[in-house]
Structures are given as structure tokens and as C-alpha cells.
Structure 1
């Protein structure tokens, strides 16, 4: 788990299809240099320009590199819902603050039987973190606003929550039923806290 707080997620999207393409490319034997060239020269991601393509590649390849062979093998043999969870888990591994949000806010709501999560919950989370950490306290309001939007989007795109009709600030929590192979891998590879975070295990 990355131990540094950062606001890097404000520049990222969930990028599931892009992540999936890179995982499969690595499994097929392509080198990272070959993949980078394809991402930029052939614009694999459909980026608006080469600068954006490079940025997207940099973020997504970090997620891919955070996986060992066993983890990537689970990914390629899993259904789409599990693959999306694995993408989320890779993001959590690389971003301490986002992991803590899932562990401290999302998990806590499941434990307490609260089936909804909203932008106010994210705002409160950032206020509490700012009171504990000078780095976060120094972030601009626009940074926190962008991260809040990103966090809520990631919950939806990973399947951890679903939109509530006509409500733009509140989502319904939908805890996943973890694939047994994935859960076993995580528990055996220092990922028990991740299992607890996304399933609400106490």
C-alpha cells in the first residue's frame, strides 16, 4: 500500500477497458515499451492528444505493474464484475487516501447497516483528514471537489454503489460478493484489509 497522501486521482478516471487491454497485452508477452508505443502512436485510448495518451498510459501501467502474475491470472480468468473490482483494488493499492475512504467510510456504512453513501460523506471524510494531515489541509477547495467527484464515480463504475433515480448526490451501496479465488488471493497476499474494506467485514 502506498503510504503517501496525494491528489493524483483527480487526474484519473476508472479506465476499466483501458486497464483490461493493458493487462491482456502484458499477458500476451508485449513489453511495456511496445505497449507505450501502441498507446501513443496508435492512440489505443482515444486520447485527445499525445500528451494525454502518455499521461493515461503512465497511470494505467502503474495499476498493471502493481499486480503479480497470480493476480493478473485471476483477472484474465474472471467475469467482468470481478475484473472491475480488481481494477479498483489496484487503485486502492496505489492511493492510500482512496483506500482509507473505502475502509473508513464505505465499510463503516455497511457495518452499521446504512445503505446509502453521498457527497456529504466524502466531504466529511476530507474535513477529518485535513484536520489530521497538513498536506491535505493545504489542498484547494477545487482539488477536494474534483476528488469527491472521482471517488463517487469510482464507487459506481466498480459496482460498489449504484445511482439512485433523480438523486445526483446520493448512491445506494451494493457490497460485492467476492469471487472465492480473488478473496483467497487477497487474504494470502496482505490484502485482508482490502477484503474488509469492500465487503464490510468487521
Structure 2
């Protein structure tokens, strides 16, 4: 997770699909078997094979960051916790998104700001452009799509709530099993990022 990537513009939260593939892995299905289900039986509900294959690839990469303990935690967890585990997997695969959670979302929670705005994300990107040549080369269209992706991920995870066109911040209250797991693997920064703990 060294380099910055704009790859999230091509991804969605895909929670239902994420859950479906985790269950199949837990049942002992290989990635090859799951790939064939996606292509031959339209498991993901996507009719175009190339698109189904791409989404399968994204989900496979996302799920591969979860160890067996976290998979079992996911399977036994409530819906809110499962969505937070999906956010964890996304942030584990994307350095910039994790930094956004920690530097922007967490900061808003800590200081008690109730809303996340498009300009908050734009300022974050401007700062990153000044610090990193890769990000500085991204087009305005890419940054706009990324901003939209970030907002959608947080909304789908329950970390933002829509209210009269405003995005209200609703920090997570972590399930104790998940919190203990994150502490055990030294992911305390993620706990702080999504709960606002200082």
C-alpha cells in the first residue's frame, strides 16, 4: 500500500457481492470456482462477462486482505459491523482513502463538526497534490469521481447520513469483537479514523 492510487473511481461499495463471495470462500470454494460462477451463472448479476470479471477481481483483492479471524468475525457480525469490515478492507487496499478517513473524517468527528462537504474532500486532494507528484497529475475529472466515490463509500457504510442534501457525520460505534481484532493487529489508527477517538 505504498503508492497512491485513483483506482477507487472504478469501484463501488458492493456490500451484497462482498458478503456473497465471503460466504462462498468460507464454504470452501476456490477463487477459480467463484470466478466461474460469476462468469457462467451470473453470480454478481452483471450480464457483460468483462465487467463481471473486473468486479470479481476487485472483490477478490478486497477479501484477500481479510484473515480467517476477521472472516469469521464478519460472518457472525451484525449488518453495521459487516459494512465497517468492508470499509476496513477498502482502506487496507487504498492508501489515499485510508488517509482521507484519518485526516479528514476523524478530524471532523474530533472537533465536533456535524457535516462532511465536497469542499472538505477538495481541500484534502489539493493538499495531497502539493505533496505528491502522482496525485498532482490526476485530472479534475478523476478527482471529482474520487470525491463522489468517497462520499458513496462512507454513506453506504453508515458513516455518513443523507439529510436535505447534506452529508451528516455518523461515526461508528465498533463491535467489541472487531475492536479487539483491530487492536490485536495494530490497526488502532483505523479505529480512530472511523470512531473519532483521539
TM-score, normalised by the number of residues in structure 1: 0.96
2:22 paired residue number: 23
- Name stretches of at least 5 consecutive residues in structure 1 with no aligned partner: none
2:71 paired residue number: 72
**Matched ranges for 1:1-202 at <5 A:** 2-165=1-164, 167=165, 170-202=166-198
1:12-66 deviation per Cα after TM superposition (whole angstroms, max 9, x unaligned): 0000000000000000000010001101111111124000001000000111111
Report deviation, 1:164.
1.4
In the comparison of the two structures, how many residue pairs are matched?
Answer: 198
**Secondary structure of residue in 2 paired with 1:29:** coil
1:41-99 deviation per Cα after TM superposition (whole angstroms, max 9, x unaligned): 11111124000001000000111111000000000000111001100100000000000
**Secondary structure of residue in 2 paired with 1:45:** coil
**Secondary structure of residue in 2 paired with 1:196:** helix
Runs of 4 or more off by more than 4 Å in structure 1? none
1:102-155 deviation per Cα after TM superposition (whole angstroms, max 9, x unaligned): 000000001101011011111111011000000000001110010000000011
- Name stretches of at least 5 consecutive residues in structure 2 with no aligned partner: none
Report deviation, 1:3.
1.8
**Secondary structure of residue in 2 paired with 1:162:** strand
Provide the rounded CA distance (Å) in 2 between the counterparts of 1:3 and 1:192. 19
* Pairwise CA RMSD: 0.7
**Secondary structure of residue in 2 paired with 1:14:** coil
Provide the rounded CA distance (Å) in 1 between the counterparts of 2:167 and 2:138. 26
1:146/1:48 CA distance change after superposition, 3 Å: farther
